Amino acid sequence: TEDIYEAQEKYYSAKTALDNEWYSAEIAALEDIPRSIEDLKTAMELALGEYQASFLELFGGDACKVKELDNMITGKMGFKKTFSVTGQTYPRKQDYRILTAVAGIAQSAHKFTNDIRLLQSFGEICEPFGGKQVGSSAMAYKQNPMRSERMASLARYIMTDALNPVLTAANQWFERTLDDSANKRISVPEAFLAADAVLMLYQNISRGLVVYPKVIEAHLQAELPFMATENILMEAVRRGGDRQELHEKIRRHSVAASREVKENGRPNDLLQRIAADPAFNLSQDQLSQLLDSSLYIGRAPEQVAEFLNQSVDPLLAAEPPLPEESLKV
């Protein structure tokens, strides 16, 4: 709570759009995918094909025909590039780069679920909850964020799965052995299958997310006096107060007010304490004017509009629209 409310206030639109681990981070992760695809290379391998000796023999020593065949196979498989020199297999570092890009999506998705689960525990938002959904077999009232929990578990699997190709690349001997291919047959396809499931859950949660503004407002008002202390300090200094002295007084008043709230369950009386302190030379009414929450949002609305116009819209415009699907999660 301290990190969420006692920091500078943010609109939820700014949080969802600009937070490095929500949309902006997911966009960065998604941008890694096309780059990884563009950099994909293939290798023409068959028997001792790393040196293309068999093909050179097949074409009577004509190296140009070997290169032409290499280019034809590369194009037929949909690749634009080929490894110039390989062993029996292409370098497994390529698998590592691919799964690292997929793991980037999982990392951003996992951070998203952390925030959703925390905010749902505060009662400020709620992921979709079906009319007949059971949150707990023991406690009927519970509405657990089970979609976010599932999404987190799958995302965590993808992130750890990305270790497989890097370990294979590090431990591979001069040529491929079965610990290479057996591992790859599991780790690579399962990473993509899990990523599909994560993105399906991501879509479902985002589309059905419920926000409770009244609860957010109540929490905000409880913490707003603490948020306003910087403005209160500046106003008191403008009226002739000593900044260092006032800063220490605010610190002491804040600690005392916080203790009353936490230990005795009383309302936040920080403003009353400051108003009663002659060092600040501010009345209760003057202090109340500094509690306008719009004073603390900075450029959040403009930042959201800029983010949508400059980052989200171009990304969506570059991709063909997908048909509506009924996803069962």
Per-residue pLDDT, 244? 95
Q: Phi/psi of residue 74, each to 5°?
A: -60, -45
**CA-to-CA dists, residue 218 to 136, 213, 261, angstroms:** 28, 9, 14
Q: How many CA atoms lie within 13 A of 200 on its CB side?
A: 13
**pLDDT less than 70: residues of the chain:** 1-25, 39-51, 86-87, 130-142, 322-329
Which helix (H) or strand (E) element contains residue 81? strand 81-82
Mean pLDDT in the chain?
A: 81
Please give the pLDDT value at position 57. Answer: 83
Would 2-33+92-127+143-211 and 215-296 be classified into the same CATH topology?
no
CATH 3.90.79.10: does it fit domain 215-296? no
DSSP 64: H
Query: What class, spelled out in words, does domain 2-33+92-127+143-211 have in CATH?
Result: mainly alpha
The residue ranges of every structural domain in the chain are: 2-33+92-127+143-211, 215-296
Q: How far apart are CA 32 and CA 249, in angstroms?
A: 50
Tokens of 134: 């059971």
pLDDT at 240: 92
